[in-house]
Structure 1
Amino acid sequence: MELYVSEFSKYVITLLIALYTYESFAVFRKKQESDRNGIYTRQNILMFGLHFSCFIVICFETGDITYLFFYAFQQIVLYATVILFRMLYPKTNRLLVNNMCMLLTVGFVILTRLSLGKAIRQFIIVMISLVIALVIPFFVSRFRFLKEWKWIYAAAGIVALGIVLVLGQTTYGSKLSYTIAGLTFQPSEFVKIIFVFFVASALYKAAGFFEVFTTAVIAAAHVIILVCSKDLGSALIFFVVYVLMVVVASRNWLYLLAGVSGGSVAAYLAYRVFPHIQVRVQAFKDPWSVIDSTGYQITQSLFAITSGGWFGLGLFKGTPESIPFVEADFIFSAITEELGLLFALCVILICVSSFVMFMNISMNLKDKFYQLTAFGLGVTYIFQVFLTIGGGCKFIPLTGVTLPFISYGGSSVLTTLIMFSITEGLSMIQEEEAEEEKHRRKRIRQKKKKQAGRKKDRPVYEYEDLDFEEDGETFEQEEE
């Protein structure tokens, strides 16, 4: 019986996430949010079905029915999140909420399989983070003065990163975090959001050479501090986000060329200066030559990805625990091994659909500050996804960043929830702008109607609309 459940469930789980992914892109065929309600409802049904199916398999494989209690708590929190966002913010974008919950579901499932203790800790952090996320859209949509805090954003970001550089804990050669009252924070995760607000507030009025130069100095300070802390993955995210935001704000593609050139030179210098980058590049180029040392992680990751096949080996059928730090840096490999390549591709596509919606919201906003903010947050999110998955698949060298919503890590999941919630607030602003534009056009139509009615009712003169000249001056026939 257990064998049949395990085998049959692989196809059911893959089908459910494939249908969900299809609906994630079907959303974009509907222009009005009100026309998408049926799609969103189907997404919720598919998400809860996948969640239930995965935990039934976990119970069968472990023989421990207590996992169902953990599942029930997760289900309550996810259902409450969907309902509360819909009730509190009816004008927000529900695709982002659904995708957020689906990716959290995938993270809960795979973390429960890898380590129940870490899954419980992650669940507690998610609950607290969701409470924070629920109030953020309200403040974003009401506090219009956020665009005026340029130098506050700059100072806060540099100070937070500087504290880590001076007082931070060293983890595998990098200073990433510090601990306050027993709680460990990774400030670079939060500074990503502050940095996006800084660039948007600096460039929304004008994006000439002077504005770009002054912004570049502050951005360089952020990146240099991260490089000195040897947090090169975050430094790369900051750099790419800055360059792309400048290009969008200025509409000058020469800045992209300059950014690529400068980034290439910086990457070469970093390779020469930092030995651990040389180690990672060597592991990227030929991991098999150093399989017993620095190449062990990436080779085990590749073994896991290739052994899963299209539908995976099934939960608890693989050996993802053989990959060091699998729950953080290599969780995508664990997903691919046990849930299959098709499942993993659907996870990527769900992340892409979220990014497309970020861009959609950005393009539809009228205020340039909000446009740049939505764009910057979207780029931050999708580039981190690219770095995590690309590093685990040996597409690029490892950077040590986590997969948003899925990887184990409190700072990462809280930051990503805040990013999505800010974008929900921007979505509310977009809806308000659309309503204002709708009323404006309605007033114009009504005014034209009244003018047309007056023209129709007034008497017609034989010489109306003709000009005539008298005593060197031009006069126009006036209406009575």
Structure 2
Amino acid sequence: MTDLIVELSKYLMTLLFAFYTYECFSSFRGKLTPEKRAKIFKRQMCLMYLIHLDAFLAIYAVTDDIRMILFYVVQAAFIAVTISSYRLVYGRASGLLINNMCMLLMIGFIMITRLSFDKAIRQFAIAVGAMVCSLIIPVLIQKVRFLRKMPWLYAAAGIIGLLAVLAFGITSSGAKISISLAGISVQPSEFVKIIFVFFVACMLYENTDLKHVCIATVLAAVHVLILVLSRDLGGALIFFVTYLVMLYVATRKLFYFAGGLLTGCIAAVVAYQLFSHVRVRVLAWQDPLSRIENEGYQICQSLFAIGTGGWFGMGLYQGMPEKIPVVEQDFIFSAIAEEMGGIFAICLLMVCISCFLMFFNVAMQMKEQFYKLIALGLGTVYGFQVFLTVGGVTKFIPSTGVTLPLVSYGGSSLFSTMIMFAVVQGLYIRRQDEGAANERKNAAPPRRRKTGFDEDVETFS
């Protein structure tokens, strides 16, 4: 009976998630009325809850552990409160961003619960704290005006945070990426990414002459260099690409972008020569099967998992994702592909792409260059991180040890990504408020005032 429940569950989850993904892209149609768009988001919420329920019924059927049911109820209540809070506090919030954030969180909860119940509890607790903080951020984006006037504070905070990791960081897999605070492991670079975007936006939104560009480039290079010295090359790559994209959009000079790419290629060759763990990852990427006993083991197990899952997956608890080292963090996409299936994994990737498109859509709609650059920078950070994660586990590129935002286990990554979504949500609300104000202004009825000639003259407010 258990096998039948798990088998039916995987097909139902795939079907429901395919419909959810279709609705993501349906919401981008330009001629939709607000009522039709609202109906799309309601259907998404229904599909989300059905996927969540289906998965936890399968988990309970296999484990026969009442804690799974209780954990499911708490998670469902958390998602309901998150969606309701955003809609009550911010009436103009983006339904797509809210739904996708919650959908990705749910998938993460499902897979981490299957892999490690204790880690799932910790991940959930961090998500609750992050949600409370993220509810405050949109109003700050709307009300606080001095955010654009602190470039040196952003630069100092970012550099000090990265230097702290370089000096006191814990070495993991050959890189220093986290520090321990009161027994809690924190990865500062996850938060510095957001600060870095604000710094670059502050430097380039008003003035893009050579002097400003040189100063911004030097300080950005300091961030990247510290990450390289810490051997956090995945993080360094995200910072580097984000700066290049923001610089190009701010200046519209292809020379800067091309020069940056050339510099990055040279730096990659130098890193290959200097760092042994970089050579190990490149060799594992080139021919993992010939090195399956050592450096190629992780990527081989990832490819085996993805291949074993096929289109519809093995079903929850029917695969062997635990054979992949650090599967909850860097390789959770492989575990999802194995047990939930290739179609489900592709839909997950498409949902991430819809988030990326929404970030860029907000950037294009913002009138002020400062906010436009922030949305663009955060969108680049998010999209490139997804690319690095999925590309690494599928052997498209060498593995960089980067987590899948909102899905992978990791408190710092989860917290920082929810902050990013909240910042973009704040920008979206700001743009909606500006549009509504303009509509009210244009639609205001004429009023009459008396003139010195005792005749009525129409004026418009």
Q: TM-score, normalised by structure 2?
A: 0.95
CA distance in 2, matches of 1:80, 1:365: 29
Aligned residue runs from structure 1 range 126-145, under 5 A: 126-145=127-146
| Structure 1 segments unaligned to the other structure (5+ residues) | 451-456, 459-480
- Find the counterpart in structure 1 of residue 397 from structure 2: 396
**Structure 1 residue 440, shift from structure 2 partner:** 4.4
Contact 1:33 1:93 in 2 (8 A): no
CA distance in 2, matches of 1:440, 1:76: 40
- Find the counterpart in structure 1 of residue 217 from structure 2: 216
**Structure 1 residue 252, shift from structure 2 partner:** 1.6
CA distance in 2, matches of 1:380, 1:26: 25
- Find the counterpart in structure 2 of residue 27 from structure 1: 27
| CA deviation string 1:285-317 (max 9, x = no partner) | 001111000000000000000010110000000
Are positions 1:12 and 2:12 aligned together? yes
CA distance in 1, matches of 2:343, 2:85: 32
Query: Residue 7 of structure 1 aligns to which amino acid in structure 2?
Result: E
Contact 1:204 1:368 in 2 (8 A): yes
- Find the counterpart in structure 2 of residue 110 from structure 1: 111
- Find the counterpart in structure 1 of residue 425 from structure 2: 424
**Structure 1 residue 358, shift from structure 2 partner:** 0.6
- Find the counterpart in structure 2 of residue 147 from structure 1: 148
- Find the counterpart in structure 2 of residue 317 from structure 1: 318
- Find the counterpart in structure 2 of residue 196 from structure 1: 197
Hey, which bits of structure 1, 4+ residues long, moved more than 3 A?
30-35, 439-443
SS in 2 for 1:328: coil
SS in 2 for 1:175: strand
Query: Residue 283 of structure 1 aligns to which amino acid in structure 2?
Result: A
- Find the counterpart in structure 1 of residue 207 from structure 2: 206
- Find the counterpart in structure 2 of residue 175 from structure 1: 176
| Structure 2 segments unaligned to the other structure (5+ residues) | 450-455
Are positions 1:186 and 2:187 aligned together? yes
| CA deviation string 1:31-81 (max 9, x = no partner) | 665541101100000000000000001111122233110100000001100
* Structure with bigger gyration radius: 1
| CA deviation string 1:382-409 (max 9, x = no partner) | 1101101110000000100100001000
Query: Residue 152 of structure 1 aligns to which amino acid in structure 2?
Result: L
Is the alpha carbon distance of 1:379 and 1:34 closer, same or farther for their aligned partners in structure 2, counting shifts above 3 Å?
Answer: farther
Query: Residue 254 of structure 2 aligns to which amino acid in structure 1?
Result: W
SS in 1 for 2:179: strand
Are positions 1:407 and 2:395 aligned together? no
- Find the counterpart in structure 2 of residue 453 from structure 1: none
**Structure 1 residue 30, shift from structure 2 partner:** 4.3
- Find the counterpart in structure 2 of residue 344 from structure 1: 345
CA distance in 1, matches of 2:235, 2:300: 24
SS in 2 for 1:315: coil
CA distance in 2, matches of 1:30, 1:42: 19
Query: Residue 192 of structure 1 aligns to which amino acid in structure 2?
Result: K
CA distance in 1, matches of 2:92, 2:48: 22
CA distance in 2, matches of 1:66, 1:425: 36
**Structure 1 residue 433, shift from structure 2 partner:** 1.8
**Structure 1 residue 9, shift from structure 2 partner:** 1.4
- Find the counterpart in structure 2 of residue 476 from structure 1: none
SS in 2 for 1:405: coil
Q: TM-score, normalised by structure 1?
A: 0.91
| CA deviation string 1:143-190 (max 9, x = no partner) | 021011111101110011011111112222211111122222110000
State the identity as a percent.
50
CA distance in 1, matches of 2:180, 2:4: 47
| CA deviation string 1:243-294 (max 9, x = no partner) | 0000111112222211111110110111111111011100000011110000
Query: Residue 179 of structure 2 aligns to which amino acid in structure 1?
Result: Y
Is the alpha carbon distance of 1:266 and 1:446 closer, same or farther for their aligned partners in structure 2, counting shifts above 3 Å?
Answer: farther
| CA deviation string 1:416-454 (max 9, x = no partner) | 0000001111111111221233244446x969x99xxxx
- Find the counterpart in structure 2 of residue 360 from structure 1: 361
| CA deviation string 1:203-249 (max 9, x = no partner) | 00022222211100000000000000000000000000000000111
- Find the counterpart in structure 2 of residue 380 from structure 1: 381
CA distance in 1, matches of 2:231, 2:402: 13
Query: Residue 365 of structure 1 aligns to which amino acid in structure 2?
Result: M
CA RMSD of aligned residues (A): 1.8
Count how many residue pairs are aligned between Structure 1 and Structure 2: 451
- Find the counterpart in structure 1 of residue 452 from structure 2: none
| CA deviation string 1:341-381 (max 9, x = no partner) | 00000000000001111111111111110000001001100
